[in-house]
């Protein structure tokens, strides 16, 4: 696995800290679009500051688009289709694309979640961030760590200090 290394100096010791390779579940983007006060939105700000590497495949980006453009999400977030397109265009600038060379289906109870897991596995992700960890229990068979946005955000903040 090729990772970009960052170095952090503390005293006279140089620590090498690899950036986390992360797949964000769609529900994290929905939560971020609904509130600027939560951990999901803060994670997007951390992504913008290059504190971690976000991974996405074409099917996952299409899922992001389809879900964020649902009328109920547009209404609550007070976004338009055009502003959602602009958000996704901006998000894509911070994403490392993942090509799905191997499909791992079926692994999960919800077929809509399969593309999230496949993106993480094909992209050699360190972590899958979701608000529904129970839906991704089989990820442990692949040694893929799961986290909520809040737990991952605290981890990033701890590593930053």
For the chain, the average pLDDT equals 86
pLDDT at res. 8: 43
Yes or no: say if 153 and 43 are a contact pair by the CB < 8 Å rule.
Answer: yes
- The confidence band for 135, taking pLDDT boundaries of 50, 70 and 90, is confident
* Residue count of the chain: 161
Q: Is the dihedral of CA 93, 94, 96, 98 positive or negative?
A: negative
Third-level CATH fold of 19-160: Rossmann fold (3.40.50)
pTM of the model: 0.84
Q: Which of the pair, 56 or 142, is modelled with greater confidence?
A: 56
- The confidence band for 131, taking pLDDT boundaries of 50, 70 and 90, is very high
């Amino acid at each position: 696995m090729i990772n970009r290394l960052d170095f952090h100096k503390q005293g006279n010791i140089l620590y090498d800290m690899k950036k986390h390779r992360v797949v964000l579940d769609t529900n994290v983007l929905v939560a971020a679009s609904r509130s600027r006060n939560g951990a999901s939105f803060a994670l997007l700000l951390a992504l913008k500051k290059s504190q971690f590497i976000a991974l996405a495949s074409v099917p996952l980006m299409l899922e992001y688009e389809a879900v964020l453009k649902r009328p109920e999400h547009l209404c609550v977030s007070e976004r338009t289709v055009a502003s959602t397109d602009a958000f996704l265009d901006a998000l894509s600038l911070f994403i490392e694309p993942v090509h799905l060379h191997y499909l791992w289906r079926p692994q999960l109870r919800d077929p809509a979640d399969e593309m999230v897991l496949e993106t993480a596995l094909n992209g050699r992700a360190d972590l899958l961030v979701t608000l529904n960890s129970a839906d991704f229990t089989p990820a442990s068979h692949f040694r893929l760590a799961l986290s909520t946005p809040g737990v991952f955000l605290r981890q990033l903040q701890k590593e930053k200090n």
